[in-house]
Structure 1
Amino acid sequence: MGNSHSHASAPGLDMHRAPRPLALPRKRSQAFSTLTLGCAPTPYAPSLPSYREYPIREDASVSDREEKRSFDPPPLYALSTTPDLLEDGAAVAYKAFLKHCPQYQLTWILDALRRSDFARLDRSGETYVDYMGGSLYPESLIRVHAGFLTRSILGNTHSVSNSSRLSAACATEARQAVLAFFRAPPGYTVVFTANATGALKLVGEAFPFTDGSSYVLGADSHNSVHGIRKFATARGAGVHYIESTPHGGVDVSEAQAVLTQHRPRGNRAPCLFALTGQSNISNAKNPLSLIEFAASQGYSTLLDAAALAPSSVISLTDTPVDAMAVSFYKMFGFPTGVGALVVKESFLARLERPWFAGGTVDVVQAPGTIVTLTSELHERFEDGTINYLNLPAITDGLRFLSAYLPFLPLRLSSLTRHLITSLSELRHDTTGAPVVQILSRQPSKVVRSVGEQSDSGSVVALLFLFPSGQMIPNSFVEYAAQQHNISLRTGCMCNPGGAAALLGLRQAMSDLPCDATLRAFEQRMGRELGVVRISLGLASDFRDVWRVIEFAKLMATDIARSALWEEWLGDKTGVAL
């Protein structure tokens, strides 16, 4: 037989034995009410019993007072980042920045958030500019979640015990929170996965590709999107790429032409179009209108929103894609190991899984061949036991992010434009040659008000250059940044098509031998491949950008750069690289 599921015994339904009396719930939003400074969170289904309905002792009045003290967030002050809070040199730069970008001050609430929930950044002196790799978690989210785990007893959802009922309620509430956050209309459900990659793999392995099918995708996509082509070709489908522009992303007319050329015909073999909402290397945002166009041509549609969701509003009501993949750690930092496929139930029902597992079935004949899948569609795709201990943090994290999301496009686009302008103006002190080469797409739209969306992300992909104009090795840049407490990333960012477009290596990419390795490719090109990526996010402020610019000025100074170079060569890692 298969597993016994607790979803049929959710809170409020009859049990085989009566549960213990439940105390009145403590509203979860109290932990965030001061933190959000009155910003209304995304509404979640009010009729759903809160998973905060847990048993407590009758003598818990003292512990309740202690709990309130421990969960009240630090006081917030409605102050923008001001010169007196900045280190020497930054104050003058900040004043000049505000003259060109006065609207930045409208995002003061994020400065308050930086002091309350991300104070560890300033205590440690670390400049974190790798939000595309992973967002930083707010400290209050960890406190709230740790407190809930400390007080609660959670069990495997594949049972009907009280602890399992509580876990099932957490999972149900988290699903509804995800649907509400992305403004999903009726007909959508949520499949929890390990990450966005896991969500994309679910679609790839179960999509009914066949002879005559097409899989269309952009070259500027993550490897997890490229990987679906293995499932497509194994079933006889054709794989067709939309080339990247020199600065990343797709050209709309070219994309429409490729989609039209390879659309379903004749026997109507199922075709899939995968769109990258925002590139993790080129900073390009692709127009979501391409999803509607592809659907009109008969395609099923898949949106990789891993890089888009952390700082952009996504409405599935406005853009009813068949399936969308996200990772929550990229949105609000915690927890890692949980992602989601937000998907139409009608699309999910058409997928054909190549196997079954614990949690996905109702009856299994053993020995034999009979398998009856569970009646719940989303459970058919959640192999084994879901990450039930961390799902409550998804609900709280989405509520947290919903309060600050309207401010992020204005703030991040302002900082990104300033960073690009400042770096582009830097010159070497010996030759006057540029210090950096900006490769990624630059914002063309000036965001001026809260709630307005930007036309690009907050990623800057670049190369550092020697005074001669040759590329400085990325491994040296990474070493030098580490010495100055700057967390950035170098490489191809698991996006070979986007990297090849930015670096002008599309022809070299097409000429790769079948047994190619990165080392051989680099030896052939005579240099390290990849870029330096600086990405901003939820907790970024002017100080972070200023420190990156100051670091770049060091690279422009021959004496300072040479000293770092000698240190790097003397380091064992430097010699090996």
Structure 2
Amino acid sequence: MDKISDDASIAYQDFLHAFPEYRLTWTLDTLRRSDYRRLDTTGEVYADYMGGAIYPESLVHVHTEFLDRSVLGNTHSISNSSSLSLKGTNEARAAVLSFFRASPDEYAVIFTNNATGALKLVGESYPFAGDSTYVLLVDSHNSVHGIREFAAHRGAKVSYIPSTSTGGFEPEIAKEMLLKCRPRSAPCLFAMTAQSNITNTKNPLSMMEHAKSLGYHTLLDAAALAATSAISLSDHPVDAMDISFYKMFGFPTGVGALIAKKSFLKQLKRPWFAGGTVSLVQVPGNIMTRAHELHEQFEDGTINYLTLPAVTDGLTFLSAYLPFLPLRLSSLVHYLTGSLSQLRHDTTGTPVVRILSAKPSRRLKSVGDQSDTGSIVSIVFLSPSGEILPNGFIDYVAAKLSISLRTGCMCNPGGAAAMLDFKEDMEQLFEGATLQDLERAVGRQLGVVRISLGLVSNFQDVWTIVRFAGLFADDKTRGKLWGHYKDDGVGRAL
């Protein structure tokens, strides 16, 4: 056994002594050996689960075998091949409802390209009017922010609930804003991110119920939350919720869903129609009759019928392991944040990294417990003098060491501005401004280094990331890495 393996083994034993509850999640180690062998054979340390989960080999094999023995046709026909496709599609809808504990009598599933597509369906169809208000969080994904364009186009107001310095919001401030903007003569929409994709905050689902009591329609962005946490629409009913399956179990990509109350869907007004969404169209003329089934009215053209059976299998797969995941991630996140916080520069004794994202307030001890935050650690790397090192430099070194992470603002400008404290610069933006303009105003590259853990993250992954961060603590090592970075031309380009 070489020195690195010896060090890893010793560190692992120390970790288990500090976090004995980690042993309760041993089934995820078995899963990694059986379904994710390529992680260890390639030596890739994957820490971008928020960008996309890694698909399990078994799911791809099962689906490939299904395709090999099946003849599938467009669901808009009544042939045998079409009937088989329709059967698989209906099974997928039922599986989604079951997974999220949504009553089939109350909810419908609309398949989309991704979570963004689901959000756009709501935005373009919601009956905004002059007296309407669209209320949302500053700490939201751009796909949630984008709905404000539809609202403004119809003369509706847009109101933001401010973010704390670590993301999320203060419940009392949110309640005041919701009360101030509550519906009076026109429908109003409240959109809430269940879990931030950059600040790591989890927001209380009870806020959706509070908004509902004030008369709002409620839209829950669950794209980040659904991969690691159980969501029950029976316990926390909302009018609509978006998800992306590739974030949950990695395959298939290009398929998401809008899970919405049928009563809510009936109030939406689509601005156009397409193949599959109508049963009769007068040509020439202006008469059009929507399809009978509600979900058909929102699924433009032909759905991805070849991959939808994989959604059923993927949800079954995830159901077996999801109960163990919060406990494992709790142990890993606590170890990671604790280890990163202890790193110091060898020349000055100053911190190597600054953790900006929300940290969990408690450590989980039992299978089935749920954490109060996600499994994201957003950081910036610091020079010995305390200046933020360029994200491009961190990206460069990580790629050289086969570590997959992500840098930038993660399509969440509000959360990034709150954590990095450039809210005032954001307020000074002018029409047509670019990211480069904003970075010039702030005086540095914007964004964070995001480490996001997921289904088969293990101690070895986190230990390797801590060792990677430790490289920047050594003055000579950091200098050599910077030299390689500049010599490759990447640094000069940035």
Name the SS for the 1:89 alignment partner: helix
Query: Which residue of 467, 492, 500 maps to 2:384?
Result: 467
Show the counterpart of 1:42.
none
* 1:517 equivalent in structure 2: 434
Deviation at 1:281? 0.1
Q: Which residue of 2 aligns with 1:423?
A: 340
Q: Could you list the per-position Cα deviations for residues 123-157 of structure 1 after superposition, in whole angstroms to 9, with x for gaps in the alignment?
A: 00000000000000000000000111111111010
The yes-or-no answer on 1:276 pairing with 2:193 is: yes
**2:326 aligns to what SS in structure 1?**
helix
Q: What is residue 219 of structure 2 aligned with on the other side?
A: 302
Cα deviation, residue 526, structure 1: 1.2
What CA distance in whole angstroms lies between the structure 1 residues aligned with 2:5 and 2:404?
A: 19
Counterpart secondary structure, 1:312: coil
CA distance in 2, matches of 1:87, 1:495: 38
For the pair shown, the structure with the greater C-alpha radius of gyration is 1
Could you tell me which residue of structure 1 aligns to residue 160 of structure 2?
A: 241
Counterpart of 1:336 in structure 2 is 253
For 1:310-459, list aligned pairs within 5 A.
310-459=227-376
CA distance in 1, matches of 2:444, 2:394: 14
TM-aligned CA deviation for residue 512 of structure 1: 1.1
Query: Structure 1 residue 507: deviation in Å?
Result: 1.4
In structure 1, give the amino acid aligned to 2:425.
Answer: A
> Which residue in the other structure is 2:28 paired with?
110
Which of 417, 421, 441 is the aligned partner of 1:504? 421
| Residue 489 of structure 1 pairs with residue 403 of structure 2 | no
1:154 equivalenced with 2:41 (yes/no):
no
Q: Write the distance in 2 (CA, Å) between the matches of 1:430 and 1:153.
A: 67
1:563 to 473, 476, 480: 480
* 1:223 paired to 2:145: no
Q: Secondary structure at the match of 1:325?
A: strand
CA distance in 2 between partners of 1:88 and 1:519 (Å) = 46
Query: Which amino acid in structure 2 is aligned with residue 249 of structure 1?
Result: G
Where does residue 164 of structure 1 map in the other structure?
Answer: 82
Offset at residue 467 of structure 1 (A): 0.7
Between the aligned partners of 1:166 and 1:111, the Cα distance in structure 2 is: 36
Once the two structures are TM-superposed, the CA of residue 525 in structure 1 deviates from its matched residue by 1.3
How far apart in 1 are the matches of 2:166 and 2:442? 20
Supply the distance in 2 between the matched residues of 1:135 and 1:278 (Cα, whole angstroms).
16
CA distance in 1, matches of 2:230, 2:174: 23
What's the secondary structure of 2:160's corresponding residue? strand
5+ residue gaps, structure 1, are: 1-82
Partner of 1:15: none
Match of 1:122 in 2: 40
Q: CA deviation at 1:402?
A: 0.2
1:535 aligns with 2:452: yes
1:232 aligns to 2:132 (yes or no): no
Distance across 1 between alignment mates of 2:360 and 2:486? 37
Distance 2:146 2:38 in 1: 37
How far residue 282 of structure 1 moved from its aligned partner, in angstroms, is 0.1
Q: Which is further off, 119-128 or 554-563?
A: 554-563
Of the structure 1 ranges 131-140 and 88-97, higher mean CA displacement relative to structure 2 is found in 88-97
Q: How far does residue 101 in structure 1 lie from its aligned partner after superposition?
A: 1.0
Unaligned runs of 5+ in 2: none
Deviation string 1:469-499 (CA, Å, 9 cap, x unpaired) is 1011000000000111100000000000000
C-alpha displacement of 1:513: 1.3
Work out which of the residue numbers 544, 549, 554 in structure 1 matches 2:471.
Answer: 554
Indicate if the aligned counterparts of 2:425 and 2:441 stay in contact, CA closer than 8 A.
Answer: no
The within-5 A match list for 1:3-152 is 87-152=5-70
SS of the aligned residue for 1:369 comes to coil
- Please give the alpha-carbon distance, in whole angstroms, between the structure 2 residues aligned to 1:88 and 1:524: 48
- 1:359, 1:371 → 2: CA distance? 12
Does the CA-based 8 Å contact 2:357-2:379 persist in structure 1? yes
Q: Number of aligned pairs? A: 492
CA distance in 2, matches of 1:562, 1:515: 38
Please give the per-residue CA displacement for 1:86-110, whole angstroms capped at 9, x wherever unaligned: 9231111111111221101100000
Q: How many Å apart are 1:203 and its aligned residue? A: 0.2
| Structure 1 position 292 matched with structure 2 position 209 | yes
RMSD: 1.0
Q: 2:169 aligns with which of 250, 263, 266?
A: 250
One-letter identity of the residue aligned with 1:189: A
Name the TM-score, length of structure 1 as normaliser: 0.84
Q: How far did residue 574 of structure 1 move?
A: 2.6
Cα shift readout 1:143-200 (whole Å, capped 9, x = no counterpart): 0001111111110101011100000000000000000000002310100000000000
Cα distance, 1:370 vs. partner? 0.6
Which residue type is aligned with residue 235 of structure 1?
A: R
**Letter aligned with residue 124 of structure 1:** T
Residue equivalent to 2:99: 181
Identity among equivalent positions (%) equals 64
- 1:480 is the counterpart of 2:392: no
Cα drift, residue 573 of structure 1:
2.7
- Which residue is 1:576 aligned to? 493
Please tell me whether the aligned partners of residues 422 and 442 of structure 2 are also in contact (alpha carbons under 8 angstroms).
Answer: no
